[in-house]
Amino acid sequence: MTMSPLIDSYQRPVTYLRVSITDRCNLRCLYCMPEEGLQWLEAGNILTYNEIIRLVEVASRRGLRKVRITGGEPLVRPGVASLIEGLRAIEALSDVTLTTNGVFLKEQVAGLYRAGLRRINISLDSLNPATFAKIVRRDIFSRVWEGIEAAEQIGFDPIKINVVLQAGVNDHETDDFVRLTLKRPYHIRFIEYMPCANWDRWVATYRPFGPVKEVIEQEWGPLIPLGLPNEGDAGPAENFRVPGASGVIGFIHAVSHDFCGTCNRIRLTADGKMRPCLYSETAVDFKAALRGGCDDATLNRLLDHVMKVKPKYHELDLRPKEKQLLTMVNIGG
Ligand code: SAM
Ligand code: SF4
């Protein structure tokens, strides 16, 4: 039976799912998680890999093409390679990717590659070990760096490096990251700090990107534009190259611009709730249906409901400030 494609009420095709496979993490990034961690979900409450694979398979018959595995830290959950293998076996999916903090990457990179993973995003907010330790509250830079190098050696392409810029913390390092793109083929993605966990901290260290690009151009000359957000394979980044570089510099205007008009994504939380928008408070529960032995028609009805409730835009401006905070690890940031 041909199923209708996943298209929301505003005629946006939904082709991309971010799946959080755990809320747990071995780091405590200042902008994401408190020092003491969070009230973790119980193991029995998170979707099994088979449940995730089944749901993705159903959605892939309706146009889902790309899945990103995230968390929390996905590599703290055992057996991620088996999930990747299961997802790679879904013919209609053209892209399976993973976002990781890289702490367990060196050990797991060969297994991930064997399972069919080819694209990876690694978070690395500083090239300075001491600054990095302050941001993630762990002295772990060299392990992450070795993980990145191991990924490059084994053939991951592209390797994208996520850098959340915070004023007065790491924003003086943009030049070092640009210099890295001259030496390595990495895609550096500067991400605007989104309000999450701690409002006061966000107010103190959030800066929009306009000036960052200008500062880079003052030093390196005009950047060569490579594509607009959501264009082709660009994802949410506006991409550029410094003349002569093998790597790429991208800006993800997570806060200062709004790309809702071309949004193509939905998010699945570790405990099986589908969020139609990163910021939405609405979530559609799939776990109960999956565990109740439901048929595919039921999953499709739930997907239809997600399409119906996906908001036109994030509606942040309609909320009081304290309700604008995200809990990234729960929703698959
Ligand atoms: N633990 C993995 C990691 O750090 O890569 C995957 C999950 S993490 C929530 C996914 C991405 O969200 C990371 O690149 C992280 O830097 C980013 N992130 C987390 N909190 C953020 C915030 N408040 N603003 C912008 N990006 C954030
Ligand atoms: Fe963990 Fe990633 Fe959040 Fe940092 S950003 S605390 S690594 S989930």
Angle at 253 between CA 247 and CA 255, to 5 degrees: 155
* CATH number of the CATH domain containing 64: 3.20.20.70
User: Is 56 within a domain?
Assistant: yes
Q: Is residue 65 part of a domain?
A: yes
Instruction: Give the relative orientation of helices 80-88 and 49-60 as an angle to the nearest 10 degrees.
Output: 20
Predicted pLDDT of residue 250: 92
Nearest ligand 1 atom to alpha carbon 25: 1
Domain membership of residue 329 (yes or no) is no
pLDDT recorded at residue 240 = 93
The pair of three-digit structure tokens given for residue 168, joined into one six-digit string: 């007065």
pLDDT value, residue 229: 58
For residue 238, what pLDDT is reported?
87
Report d(CA 116, CA 77) in Å as an integer. 18
Q: Whose CA is nearest to atom 18 of ligand 1?
A: 333
pLDDT digits (tens, 9 = 90+) for 14-57: 999 999 999 999 999 999 988 998 899 999 999 999 999 999 99
CA–CA distance from 58 to each of 61, 91, 189, 293 (Å)? Answer: 5, 12, 32, 14
Question: Is the residue at 333 inside a domain?
Answer: no
Q: What is the pLDDT of residue 207?
A: 77
Q: Over the stretch 246-283, which tens digit does the pLDDT of each residue have?
A: 999 999 887 767 778 888 999 999 999 999 988 777 89
Name which residue sits closest to atom 19 of ligand 1, judged by CA.
32
Whole-angstrom distance, CA of residue 98 vs CA of residue 324: 26
For ligand 2, the distance from its centroid to the CA atom of residue 328, given in whole angstroms, is 8
The secondary structure of residue 83, as a DSSP letter, is H
Indicate which residue's Cα is closest to atom 3 of ligand 2: 32
Q: What is the pLDDT of residue 230?
A: 54
DSSP 8-state class, residue 178: H
* pLDDT tens sequence across 287-326: 999 999 999 999 999 999 999 999 887 766 666 665 555 5
Distance 33 CA to ligand 2 centre (A): 7
pLDDT value for 292: 96
pLDDT-derived band at 103, boundaries 50, 70, 90: very high
**Any ligand 1 atom below 6 A from CB of 73:** yes
Which range of residues forms the domain containing residue 243? Answer: 16-323
105 lines ligand 2 (CB under 6 A): no
Residues 182-214 pLDDT 10s: 999 999 999 988 887 677 777 778 877 777 888
Does residue 33 lie in a domain region? Answer: yes
How many structural domains comprise the chain? 1
Comparing CA positions, the residue from 243, 251, 121, 250 lying closest to residue 182 is 243
Measured in degrees and rounded to the nearest 5, phi and psi for residue 318 equal -85, -5
Nearest C-alpha to atom 22 of ligand 1 is from which residue?
194
Indicate which ligand has the atom closest to the C-alpha of 194.
1
The number of angstroms, rounded, from the C-alpha of 273 to the middle of its chain's C-alpha atoms is: 17
Radius of gyration of the chain (CA): 19
- Residue 8: inside a domain, yes or no? no
Q: Is the pLDDT confidence value at 231 over 60?
A: no
Ligand 1 pocket test, candidate residues 138, 328, 329, 331, most atoms within 8 A of CB: 328
Ligand closest to 126 (CA) is 1
**Binding site membership of 193 for ligand 1 (Cβ less than 6 Å):** yes
For 211, the token pair is 């000036």
pLDDT for the residue 99: 98
Residue 28, ligand 2, Cβ within 6 A:
yes
Instruction: Evaluate whether residue 6 is within a structural domain.
Output: no
| Residue in 331, 332, 272, 281 with CA at minimum distance from that of residue 311 | 281
pLDDT at 187: 96
201 and 31 in contact (C-beta within 8 Å)?
Answer: yes
Asked whether residue 130 is domain-assigned, the answer is yes
Q: Average pLDDT in the 214-234 region?
A: 78
Average pLDDT score over the chain: 90
